[in-house]
Amino acid sequence: MNVTQWKNKMTDLSRRDFLKLIRNGFLYLSGVLVTGGLLRFLSYESEPKRKTEFDIGSADNYPLGSRTSIPEIPALLIHTESGYTALSLTCTHLGCTLEPNETGFACPCHNSSFDEAGNVIHGPAVKPLQVLRIEITDDGNIKVFTA
């Protein structure tokens, strides 16, 4: 086929053939876009796992009778004669960070109140604060586990 024959064949394209060509082009394009979107959806990475183990330093830094706030968790480390206890400062109602007050802790979001031991004084929260697991390592550091 020479150039003249090819040129004549292109000008002989009927309206029906042109519409078929456009329709097929749109179908192929939409198929590629849907496949790309599906592959992107299936390869989505959720947020990274949260850290659940915190080394908060030497046990010597927390003298007997101390109540130390640990903002990165958020938690409160309490050192009594019976040992160490850590209370989560996350409200059990909707997960807001609690603030200390004169009777214990208060939720700034919905006014739940907790006493110094983490028990509910005033709702809408119904569960007490979570007591976090603590380990003292061989080298004397305290580890707090949130999960």
Lowest mean pLDDT among 20-29, 33-42, 99-108: 99-108
Residues 31 and 58 in one domain: no
Is pLDDT at 7 greater than 80 in this prediction?
Answer: no
Cα–Cα distance for residue pair 76/90, rounded to 1 Å: 10
Which pLDDT band holds residue 6 (cuts at 50, 70, 90)?
low
Range of the domain at 1: 1-44
Residues 35 and 58 in one domain: no
pLDDT digits 0-9 by tens, 43-54? 888 777 777 888
Residues 22 and 59 in one domain: no
Is pLDDT at 147 greater than 80 in this prediction?
Answer: no
Domain count, the chain: 2
8-state DSSP, 123: S
pLDDT digits 0-9 by tens, 104-120? 888 888 888 888 888 88
Torsion of CA 19, 21, 22, 25, to 10 degrees: 160
